[in-house]
């Protein structure tokens, strides 16, 4: 609830860092349900997930190409500046 309150009360981008991918996914799901964004297309969502680029935390030589593309998409959306981003 604290994350949702911060998110709703401030027009700036917010970055929430969680200890692992599972807790980040639960947090993302909670925010999407609170703000009713789960059925929106990804380009219309205000809540964006920025995944790790590695398959395993300590194997940096093995990148996950899908996550690299998702990270690029998130950075492009945040740098666009046309809409209010969160």
18-30 residue pLDDT tens: 888 889 889 888 8
Residue ranges making up the domain that contains 72: 2-80
What is the percent of the chain where pLDDT is above 90? Answer: 2
Which residues in the chain come in under a pLDDT of 70?
A: 1-2, 7, 54-63, 81-86
| Domain assignment present for 86 | no
Angle at 47 between CA 45 and CA 20, to 5 degrees: 140
Report CA dihedral (34, 37, 38, 43) to the nearest 10 degrees: -150
Provide the number of structural domains found in the chain: 1
Paired strand residues for 63: 54
| Domain assignment present for 65 | yes
Place of tokens 């809540």: 47
* Nearest residue to 30 (alpha-carbon basis) of 9, 1, 51, 71: 1
């Amino acid at each position: 609830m604290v994350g949702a309150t911060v998110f709703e009360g401030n027009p700036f981008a917010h970055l929430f860092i969680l200890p692992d991918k599972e807790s980040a996914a639960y947090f993302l799901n909670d925010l999407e349900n609170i703000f009713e964004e789960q059925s929106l297309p990804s380009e219309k969502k205000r809540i964006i997930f920025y995944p790790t680029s590695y398959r395993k935390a300590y194997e940096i030589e093995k990148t996950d190409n899908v996550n690299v593309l998702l990270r690029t998409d998130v950075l492009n959306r945040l740098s666009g500046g046309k809409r209010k981003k969160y």
